[in-house]
Structure 1
Amino acid sequence: MNRDPSPSFNLCLHSSACYTVLLTSLSSLIQREDNTKVIEIVSVIAVLGLLSLRGAECQNLKNMESMGYQAINCRKHTASLTEFGAVGDGQTINTRAFKEAVDHLSQFASDGGAQLFVPPGKWLTGSFNLTSHFTLYLHKDAVILGHQDEKEYPLVAVLPSYGRGRDAPGGRFSSLIFGTNLTDIVVTGDNGTIDGQGALWWDKYRKEQLNYTRPYLIEIMYSEEVQISNLTFVNSPSWNVHPIYSKNVIIQGLTVLAPVDSPNTDGINPDSCTNVRIEDCYVVSGDDCIAVKSGWDQYGIAVGMPTQHLIIRRLTCISPDSAVIALGSEMSGGIKDVRAEDILAINSEAAVRIKTSPGRGAYVKDIYVRRVIMKTMKYVFWMTGSYGSHPDEGFDPNALPVIDSINYRDMVAENVNMSAKLEGIPKDPFTGICISNVSIALSVKPKKVQWNCSDIEGISSNVIPQPCSLFADKGPGSTTGCPFPTDRLPIEDVELKTCSFSLSSH
């Protein structure tokens, strides 16, 4: 592709004002190219725009002795990883250095907290834990490399709401970066990189050589006041970012990259969490870009911790075989009050997919989606009531999920194979589905049946192509449209502080 990228790509992605310009420019550029150029176009954007500007809110470090960044809380004390004997040559194992650094800095939790600076270099390490009132900060030229030896990842108990590991019935390998029962934890940087070196793990998974579930890049459990921001995650062994049983979580400015054929490399998975803000992220994934979860069948029902009060905005996603946003399939603690807006989906299987099954129980309700642009999609709308995939034989087939109050509005799609595949559960229909102001342009060889619907109930207005007969048509002149909340979630009003620390001693 010889054409220079649009000048508007030089704007900062991570502001509401310029994100609209990005979407407009990208739409114009793709319209001038063949569909086969989609990935190439986005790769150029990623290199020339998104990746280089992910730290736009932070000060430029060149020729400066101090660094500034945005965080939920600032820290009084600072140490560099090299002070604990770490060597950034990509070969020396630094697991001990990370552990000793965090342990040393934990003593300052009650005295203004502490931050660990990861300087330029390639820092090979196995799993290590975080502590409260703590910031892990990666320089823009810092790379944390996940070790490929299973022995570098201690085994941890299965998640109570899952009852088993997802890859195997046994336990789990601890995530590369792990934390539990924490308060006030920040993992951030100037677009530094966390590389899981996942290829070896993917190969073992495909060959069924794993006895335990693969590690994630970062997992935070039973915690509150969590921020993960301004970083690049690449080649995770499995899921990338997994906050679980936590509240008041901010995830922003992440670039998540994995080969589109890599197994289960979900981008961001909020799981049994309350008050979560995900914004300004760019994800290329071998699975769902964002997967909202809350536990698996009888185990999730017993724990009963929903994911609720979640906002997702200004997300760009490429996932040819999965969804931009998935709700489920593990949703047995319930999912409610999810708001998604200003989404760009490129070459993905579905925009928003609801995945559930008899045995899941609980609910997915009060879901609101608006202002979505889609380029090259298999489906626009997809709901599945027969997903299956149970943890064991102990699930209750009579535990039926409630799917209700699902709202989509103001969406534009092109090069689509099938507009909708909406399959509820017999004698347990999905209800309260509202679709308004949606325009879908079909591919050269689209499916003959554009709306495949069963066991659902809903209404529509101003939707092209015409929805199936199970949607009551409010008519082309309807101005009501599907609802989107006008109130703000508490997590939206959390303002980040401007923090800084000196690099003169490092």
Structure 2
Amino acid sequence: MTIYPPSHWVTSAVLMLGLINISIVECRRHVFDASDVTYPAINCRKHTAFLTDFGGKGDGITSNTEVFRAAVKNLSQFENDGGSQLIVPPGKWLTGSFNLTSHFTLFIQSDAVVLASQDEGDYPLVEPLPSYGTGRDGPGGRFSSFIGGSNLTDVVITGDNGTIDGQGSIWWDKFHKKKLKNTRPYLIELMYSKQIQISNLTLIDSPSWFVHPVYSSDIIAQDLTIHAPVDSPNTDGINPDSCKNVKIQDVFVVSGDDCVAVKSGWDEYGIKFGMPTEQMIIRRLTCISPDSAVIALGSEMSGGIKNIRAEDITAINSESAVRIKTGPGRGGYVTDIFVDKMNLHTMKYVFWTTGAYGQHPDPGYDPKALPIVDRINYRNVVAEDVKMAGNMGGIDGDPFTGFCLSNVTIGLSAKPKTLQWNCTDVSGISSDVTPKPCDALVDKGSIECDYPSDPVPIDTVQLETCSFSTQKQIL
């Protein structure tokens, strides 16, 4: 499928990609001879099968839904015998939703496209997430995600830059026309799972969120290219949701919504479920999202968000850098956030904090459930062509505290807003910030905001070098 991005950002994107260090190239296919393919993974597999072994047809027309499901079911017998890998060879493999199994690798070869069906009947309905209480798009349930799984251990979705195409346009149209009673499918969603790797792939045109690990831990998402039209609804790139120990690294996102959105449940349901997102590192993320954030914390954050790090972040033509989104009824907290080295180009806001975010699952939320926002650190930020430096609002009677901004240089656009800093119900400190911030961010002279030096646990995971033979298509 050919993508024609809007001309107003494609030139900047090409220029910027030359300035950042993305490791996609070094992780693509390495061919030692005519038949061996190697790739990095958290674990290697003893057993190998190809989709064609199960009757798959890669013509882009024939449905392979039952083929994928049968292949995974067959390979699940090897969960306790060294695990298995299913190879998707070059071709266009049309399929409806399917689930994965444990100790399993789905490998999508170069020039292979896993093509999502546009038939609603290929996506069985499932219950709303317990931390949300209802569907995100409507009061009903959820269409099952395109590639999913629950209660799994040791799952790898990878390739040598193969493609997963969500064919989301039909879903976007239904959403805009308010024809949906149930939430659109996510492209990849793994629930209640651990030891997850999603890497070395191109993901395009998801019906809604692209990558959604939820109630899960020990997650690596790296070397990904994620594309959706910048006007497509809710096509967030990566949304860790009530997850622990997460690494997002070397990812390029063009999106109609937030490039990375950190979440943990919605209002009274998220408060009751009580599972935070914590211990996360976001590194070398590049984002293009004219109407949304590079990194969003919330708005669904009722289980809490803490101990999040982001470093070496690049934005091109995006609405805001790191945005905190919450409001009365959310409860929960956003604390111990550390951001170091952001390079921003053509932004509406650099700093944006919203304490009046609406959107509630139902009238049952408690408006007295107020969130705690504290210890938010930003340092070493360079921005150019910016409309407004900071639009920072807390909640009346529930101020957001503990902001720290240091070594921040913001170059304004040709027609910037007259007011560069709007600070309401927030407090903190600043050092070497241009333009001069609001009085609520007290100038402390020469200081440096905190950034932890100890590694996030997921950063200590070493990937193995795995392989398969393209000529060996039997177990």
- The two structures have a TM-score, normalised by structure 1, of 0.90
Higher relative contact order, structure no. (Cα contacts within 8 Å, ≥ 6 residues apart): 2
1:136 aligns with 2:106: yes
Q: Secondary structure at the match of 1:225?
A: strand
Aligned residue number for residue 353 of structure 2: 383
8 Å CA contact 1:351, 1:381 repeated in 2: yes
By percentage of residues, which structure has more helix?
1
Residues 130-165 of structure 1: CA distance to partner in whole angstroms, max 9, x if unpaired? 000000000011100000000000111100000000
Amino acid across the alignment from 1:39: V
Aligned residue number for residue 256 of structure 1: 226
Identify which of 451, 456, 460 aligns with 1:493.
Answer: 460
Shift of 1:218: 0.3
- The two structures have a TM-score, normalised by structure 2, of 0.96
Separation in 2, partners of 1:44, 1:492: 29
How has the CA–CA distance of structure 1 residues 333 and 53 changed in structure 2, closer, same or farther, with 3 Å as cutoff? closer
8 Å CA contact 2:24, 2:250 repeated in 1: no
1:483 aligns with 2:450: yes
Separation in 1, partners of 2:105, 2:355: 42
Aligned residue number for residue 4 of structure 2: none
In the TM superposition, what are the counterparts of 1:59-458 in structure 2 within 5 Å?
59-61=29-31, 64-458=34-428
Shift of 1:45: 7.1
Amino acid across the alignment from 2:13: V
Across the aligned residues of Structure 1 and Structure 2, the Cα RMSD in angstroms comes to 1.7
Separation in 1, partners of 2:277, 2:252: 22
Aligned residue number for residue 470 of structure 1: 440
How has the CA–CA distance of structure 1 residues 288 and 335 changed in structure 2, closer, same or farther, with 3 Å as cutoff? same
Aligned residue number for residue 3 of structure 2: none
Q: Secondary structure at the match of 1:309?
A: strand
Separation in 1, partners of 2:96, 2:8: 38
Shift of 1:44: 7.3
Aligned residue number for residue 39 of structure 1: 10
Separation in 2, partners of 1:428, 1:95: 51
Aligned residue number for residue 471 of structure 2: 504
8 Å CA contact 1:306, 1:335 repeated in 2: yes
8 Å CA contact 2:143, 2:183 repeated in 1: yes
Separation in 1, partners of 2:470, 2:368: 60
Separation in 1, partners of 2:269, 2:54: 42
Shift of 1:502: 1.2
8 Å CA contact 2:239, 2:261 repeated in 1: yes
How has the CA–CA distance of structure 1 residues 273 and 53 changed in structure 2, closer, same or farther, with 3 Å as cutoff? closer
Q: Give the length in aligned residue pairs.
A: 468
How has the CA–CA distance of structure 1 residues 136 and 173 changed in structure 2, closer, same or farther, with 3 Å as cutoff? same
Q: Secondary structure at the match of 1:231?
A: strand
Q: Secondary structure at the match of 1:67?
A: strand
How has the CA–CA distance of structure 1 residues 143 and 43 changed in structure 2, closer, same or farther, with 3 Å as cutoff? farther
Unpaired segments ≥5 residues, structure 2: 1-6
How has the CA–CA distance of structure 1 residues 49 and 402 changed in structure 2, closer, same or farther, with 3 Å as cutoff? closer
Residues 79-135 of structure 1: CA distance to partner in whole angstroms, max 9, x if unpaired? 000011110000000000000000000000110000000000000000000000000
8 Å CA contact 2:91, 2:113 repeated in 1: yes
Unpaired segments ≥5 residues, structure 1: 1-35
8 Å CA contact 2:264, 2:303 repeated in 1: yes
8 Å CA contact 2:22, 2:284 repeated in 1: no
8 Å CA contact 2:30, 2:39 repeated in 1: no
Q: Secondary structure at the match of 2:303?
A: coil
Separation in 2, partners of 1:485, 1:60: 35
